[in-house]
Amino acid sequence: MRSEGARLYRDLPWRNLDDAYAVLVSEVMLQQTQVKRVLGFWPRFLAAFPTVDALAAASTGEVLELWQGLGYNRRAVALKRCADACARDNAGRLPATAEELEKLPGIGPATAAGVMAFAYGKPALYLETNVRTVFLHELFPGQAGVKDSAIAPLVAATCPGKDVRGWYYALLDYGAHLKSVLPNPSRRSAHHTRQSAFEGSRRQKRAELLRIVLAAGAEGVPLDGAAAALDEEERAAGRGGVERGLAEELAHELAGEGFFRCEDGILRA
């Protein structure tokens, strides 16, 4: 697998870096997002927020503005909160252990393992979709409903003590290749789920409402105006509009999750 992965190596800008923060940003962006899309966002994000402290000093609105178009905006809010915690409690540095990383907002086992392997070069159990694809293809041919509990010990056992980066880069690139030439082997995972349609979904309406608030700038936009703008956007797109009650529900939902503030009927990023 290593030789095949080496042959298929992708020279991506976030590889072979010792900057744990830059690696973390790439890992968060790559969640549920194709590499080709992240290639355009990662350098711009790092240019605007080059350090943990720089991200912590930014407003949530500024972070979300730069994230627009990447999708799954909740990731940006979690990344911002992670930076806030590190700036406040760890002198602007990310922790150096997986256990401490997982205590931060939005960092699960796979993301923590990615930082450990790719930034710190330390052995870690990094199990994400491309890695899963390789193990399903090579060691579970034809089997369906394979659980991560069966794959994880194999990933841990094969992770080398040296050149951890190279090993996982090889797995990632081989897995990406397999997906391009075969019916996606990861569909045989017990944990595979088909992504729900974005068009016309509640998620789309949330994203559109967030764009409306961000576009309003520092002055903000009255809730009535935001609801009317969302309704207009949805009707123009042929999706039937949005009732005032739903718009208010979405606004309060987004405010409660930290995407923007709702003060005296004004929505502000």
- Note whether 117 and 126 are within 8 A (CB): yes
- Verify whether residue 233 is a known catalytic residue: no
Distance CA 131, CA 199 (A): 29
- Note whether 50 and 57 are within 8 A (CB): no
Exactly one of 27, 65, 128, 234 is catalytic; name it: 27
- CA distances 261 to 11, 64, 80, 124, 188, Å, are 40, 13, 15, 39, 42
Distance CA 19, CA 42 (A): 14
Six-digit token pair at 90?
Answer: 């760890």
Distance CA 52, CA 22 (A): 9
Catalytic residues: 27
